[in-house]
Structure 1
Amino acid sequence: MTTLDVSALRTRFRGQVVAPGDAGYDAARRLFYGGLDPRPAVVIRPADAAEVAGVVTLARETGLELSVRCGGHSLVGHSVVDSGIVIDLAGLRAIAVDVEERTVWAQAGLTAGDVTNTVSEHGLAIGFGDTGTVGIGGITTGGGVGFLSRKYGMTIDNVLAAEVVTADGQILQVDAENHPDLFWAIRGGGGNFGVVTRFKYRLHQVPGVVGGMLMLPATPDVVHGFLREAAAAPDELSVIVNVMTAPPMPFIPADLHGQLVALGLVCYAGPADEGEKVLAPIRALAEPLADFVRPITYAEMFPAEEGGGGGEFHPTATARTLFADELSLDTVTRVLNQLETAPAPMRVTQFRPLGGAIARIADDATAYAHRGRPFMVNVAAFLDGPDTRPEREQWVLETAAIAENGDPGAYVNFLGEDGARRAREAYPGATWERLTQVKRQYDPENLFRHNVNIPPAA
């Protein structure tokens, strides 16, 4: 270990160098989720890919732990390492749209909202997740499941090329022809193989969508019907159904505050008249408690909100992600019973019907190996303090066990405290073996280990 000379670092790098005692230090180390208080030795915001390589070299020279930050949304704070070096990509914000080719080069300091807003000016879109403040680096390397996934595939299915800084400080241009194994691994394998400094994405013509929030009563028949209709709908429709306690928002009747509701986020990527027809059976399940679904631009699916770690809302929760091959009425009923009797005032079970374009790609085409799974489920309970964690964790595990069926599986971007234990569920069978081989080639010393880690093959 070496003590860092911060003055020397400020001479060495053109990008911003933030150290303990600096006015911006607390903001630089703050994360989206609460309950985390890492104190890095230094946060460096490189000016370009060459400086990213320089910081990687610095970590090797000093022996200090290294982490990479894009949006700061890691559930367990992987992006800010305690007592080590943080590469904060916030300064890498260049974006170049080729309207005729329908592609965009975007640097990894941009958020999903940044890229979406820029390309939407041309009637184009690339699907990320469902939160605009998430950094594109993290969501892309982990997979990217969101509002356009059933129509146009996951984010990784639209990555055409990338620029990657590897553990030895090289800057590589990777695609299907150049370093194909590395290109395969960064599409779903997370940040294990290097620092991706920019991506080239395929864009799609999406002049408008029928989208927004639809809130329905959280009865077993309504929630099961919502999932059944969404799974059977054309690929143009992607939905996220959050069964949760109604927040005290002004558009929700006061007598519903704190009561269970089914809050659906709906996106139909097609003509408005067709979207209304597809959504009619869902609306007919029950009288909506709130209905904000309407023709909008795709960018409006990502409303303005407090960015990354800079806002005042820093939730602390325990969660579990899983897949389900079926969600029967009985299963949904039992999950809702769990939600009714949960110890946490704020709790949620999120259902995501998958399929469509996601499932039409082979499991081994990318490092995301769960193509055929029809449903993703996420269970979370918010904490009121550290002493509430044990009971909330137990409730989450019990609820997840009710919903889970089929082979064990996990989506790496939603793994939390259980990430180390469940890495093999995120990357089953041959996917894990291939990833460890790629890791051995590009990061044999496991420099990039603050993530859901894939060790190099022996």
Structure 2
Amino acid sequence: MGQNPSALQACIEAVGNGRPGFAAFPQTPLYQTQWVKRYNLDVRVTPAVVVRPTTAEDVAGVVKCAATNGFKVQARSGGHSYGNYGLGGDDGAVAIDMVHMQKFVMDKTTWQATIGAGSLLGEVDKKLHAAGGRAFAHGVCPGVGMGGHCTIGGLGPMSRMWGTCLDHIVEVEVVTADGKIQRASPEKNSDLFFALRGAGAGFGIITEFVMRTHPEPGQVVQYEYNLKFGKQADAAALYSKWQALIADPKLDPRFGSMFIMFPLGAVITGTFYGTQEEFHATGIPNALPNTGEPGRLLLGDYLGSIAHNAEKEALYLSNLAAPFTSKSLFFKRDQLLGPEAVKNLFTWVDKAHKGTLLWFIIFSAEGGVIEEIPTNSTAYAHRDKVMHYESYGVGFPLLQTTRDFISDFHKQVLSLAPKAFGTYPGYVDNSLAEPQKQYWDANLPALQNIKKIWDPVDLFHNPGSVRPAIQN
């Protein structure tokens, strides 16, 4: 069936029943700036319509309109997709903006929270705190939305201690390709539940999550060590020492850490969920790299640590829209770079033409509890990895020199660690030859078969989403 834009508009307007602010189309004034609002300004995309539902019934109606009239569908929560996948990733999709789906209810018997898919992480943290001092693992950017973050993984400083964000999902309400509002959990529609936890964009529109929660950690120790060098090569030995620490299978799971390279320097950050005495008892402070001066320690509570991490994150990748390019890669323990390879890589960075002063490369510790969960327990496939890196180059405008620097850095890493494989599905990369294999690795065949059952026409589609298994 071909696309029928006029019929689509009439159908969606009928679902909205005349409500102002329900939907906008390309001819709507300020469509791009007020409705589309691309995050990565380097990826141009114009959806056929942007809809802002308030109920699951609205979402179901819009999904039926799209299916009947031959349009693909994607949901947007916080809107931070690197490929603007919440807008479809390609022109002509139906974009369902979940901004009004802000439900929050805490069950104080089970301590499970029901949370709307449009909720932003920063607001969720405040509500969890107010509802009894509760928490679950997620990333540090407060403007990221639950709907995308918790369906691709949801990595953050608490993940080594508690697992990923999606590991906390108990049940979801989801609209499937037939336009039905369904529940998915380990007991009900378990195959769909498996797929939604790691590959959600290809399987339905989640309208609300039921999340298990933990008591907030009472105290938090935050570590920061700034490396002010004229050359990245001068930091190579310190990086190798940091890498050895985070690769230790016995590293206390209460500790998360990053090594961040940027122009003229680097920084090592760490977050330990416990007291200062417990932190020192782990031996981690003695294993952290330094050049004779101890790193800076900040002591505080859980909410304070979230605010501090968000502040640091904003220094490297803001909530503000910008033109940027990015790459990422996961590493198993036996794929980590040796000291000589690290030195060669950092020396290459010094010599490379970058085309911008807005670049940074983040190496993040994984493992811990994430690693203890079977790889095939959810769609998320990278539980056997202990580290990943992500790189960013930002430019106004974004120059080809910057694109080449980010791409060539990735090639350098692969040349030094040729067996490293796999990309975090939250760091989407339109240049990948086999994105689905990179995102979901050994879980991909199972996901393709589930897709064939639940969405055989590939209604829920973006450039990197799971495709249905080929019919025999």
TM-score range, shorter-chain basis?
Answer: 0.7 to 0.9
Deviations along 1:208-253, one digit per CA (max 9) or x if unpaired, are 32236542346112122223223433000011221222xxxxxxxx
2: distance between equivalents of 1:288 and 1:198? 48
Structure 1 range deviating more: 69-78 or 373-382: 373-382
Q: Which residue is 2:422 aligned to?
A: 409
Structure 1 range deviating more: 420-429 or 166-175: 420-429
Please state if 1:356 is matched with 2:348.
no
Structure 1 range deviating more: 311-320 or 121-130: 311-320
Deviation at 1:292, TM superposition (A): 6.3
| Residues 215 and 96 (structure 1), Cα distance of their counterparts in 2 relative to 1, 3 Å cut | farther
1:153-172 equivalences in 2 (<5 Å): 153-172=163-182
The answer as to whether partners of 1:323 and 1:410 remain within 8 angstroms in 2 is no
Q: Which residue is 1:238 aligned to?
A: 256
| Residues 420 and 115 (structure 1), Cα distance of their counterparts in 2 relative to 1, 3 Å cut | farther
Deviations along 1:150-182, one digit per CA (max 9) or x if unpaired, are 111111211111111101101111110000111
Structure 1 range deviating more: 30-39 or 289-298: 289-298
Structure 1 range deviating more: 93-102 or 10-19: 10-19
Q: Which residue is 2:221 aligned to?
A: 210
1:215-230 equivalences in 2 (<5 Å): 215-217=226-228, 219-230=235-246
2: distance between equivalents of 1:95 and 1:46? 17
The answer as to whether partners of 2:39 and 2:320 remain within 8 angstroms in 1 is no
Structure 1 range deviating more: 269-278 or 201-210: 269-278
1: distance between equivalents of 2:195 and 2:10? 37
Matched residue count: 441
Deviation at 1:392, TM superposition (A): 2.8
The answer as to whether partners of 2:329 and 2:424 remain within 8 angstroms in 1 is yes
Q: Which residue is 1:72 aligned to?
A: 79
Q: Which residue is 1:4 aligned to?
A: 6
Q: Which residue is 2:65 aligned to?
A: 58
The answer as to whether partners of 1:19 and 1:43 remain within 8 angstroms in 2 is yes
| Residues 400 and 407 (structure 1), Cα distance of their counterparts in 2 relative to 1, 3 Å cut | closer
1:311-326 equivalences in 2 (<5 Å): 312-325=320-333, 326=336
Deviations along 1:402-444, one digit per CA (max 9) or x if unpaired, are 4535452222111312356231122223x11110111011100
Please state if 1:267 is matched with 2:271.
yes
Q: Which residue is 1:252 aligned to?
A: none
**Other structure's SS at 2:99 match:** helix
Q: Which residue is 1:443 aligned to?
A: 455
2: distance between equivalents of 1:153 and 1:9? 39
The answer as to whether partners of 1:212 and 1:301 remain within 8 angstroms in 2 is no
Structure 1 range deviating more: 192-201 or 96-105: 96-105
1: distance between equivalents of 2:289 and 2:411? 32
The answer as to whether partners of 1:10 and 1:17 remain within 8 angstroms in 2 is yes
Deviations along 1:316-368, one digit per CA (max 9) or x if unpaired, are 12323332432322232222112212221333322122111011111111112
| Residues 400 and 422 (structure 1), Cα distance of their counterparts in 2 relative to 1, 3 Å cut | farther
| Residues 415 and 7 (structure 1), Cα distance of their counterparts in 2 relative to 1, 3 Å cut | closer
Deviations along 1:112-152, one digit per CA (max 9) or x if unpaired, are 21212211233221111231211111111111111111111
2: distance between equivalents of 1:62 and 1:300? 45
Please state if 1:399 is matched with 2:415.
no
| Residues 80 and 227 (structure 1), Cα distance of their counterparts in 2 relative to 1, 3 Å cut | same
**Other structure's SS at 1:415 match:** coil
Please state if 1:35 is matched with 2:51.
no
Q: Which residue is 1:18 aligned to?
A: 24
1: distance between equivalents of 2:309 and 2:37? 22
**Other structure's SS at 1:348 match:** strand
For 1:221, the aligned partner's letter is A
Task: Give the 4+ runs in structure 1 shifted more than 6 A.
Answer: none
Calculate the TM-score normalised by the size of structure 1: 0.88
Q: Which residue is 1:295 aligned to?
A: 300
1: distance between equivalents of 2:191 and 2:11? 37
1:201 equivalent among 211, 217, 220 = 211
The answer as to whether partners of 1:214 and 1:292 remain within 8 angstroms in 2 is no
1:424-443 equivalences in 2 (<5 Å): 424-429=437-442, 431-443=443-455
For 2:374, the aligned partner's letter is A
**Other structure's SS at 1:414 match:** coil
Q: CA RMSD in A?
A: 2.7
**Other structure's SS at 2:201 match:** coil
Deviation at 1:10, TM superposition (A): 3.9
| Residues 54 and 292 (structure 1), Cα distance of their counterparts in 2 relative to 1, 3 Å cut | farther
Structure 1 range deviating more: 5-14 or 417-426: 5-14
Please state if 1:453 is matched with 2:454.
no
Q: Which runs of 5+ in 2 are unaligned?
A: none
The answer as to whether partners of 1:317 and 1:380 remain within 8 angstroms in 2 is yes
2: distance between equivalents of 1:288 and 1:22? 57
Deviation at 1:284, TM superposition (A): 5.8
Q: Which residue is 1:374 aligned to?
A: 386
Structure 1 range deviating more: 168-177 or 184-193: 184-193
2: distance between equivalents of 1:455 and 1:404? 29
The answer as to whether partners of 1:212 and 1:294 remain within 8 angstroms in 2 is no
Deviation at 1:99, TM superposition (A): 3.6
Structure 1 range deviating more: 124-133 or 297-306: 297-306
Q: Which residue is 1:256 aligned to?
A: none
1:126 equivalent among 123, 136, 144 = 136
For 1:61, the aligned partner's letter is T
For 2:6, the aligned partner's letter is L
1: distance between equivalents of 2:268 and 2:318? 27
Q: Which residue is 1:422 aligned to?
A: 435
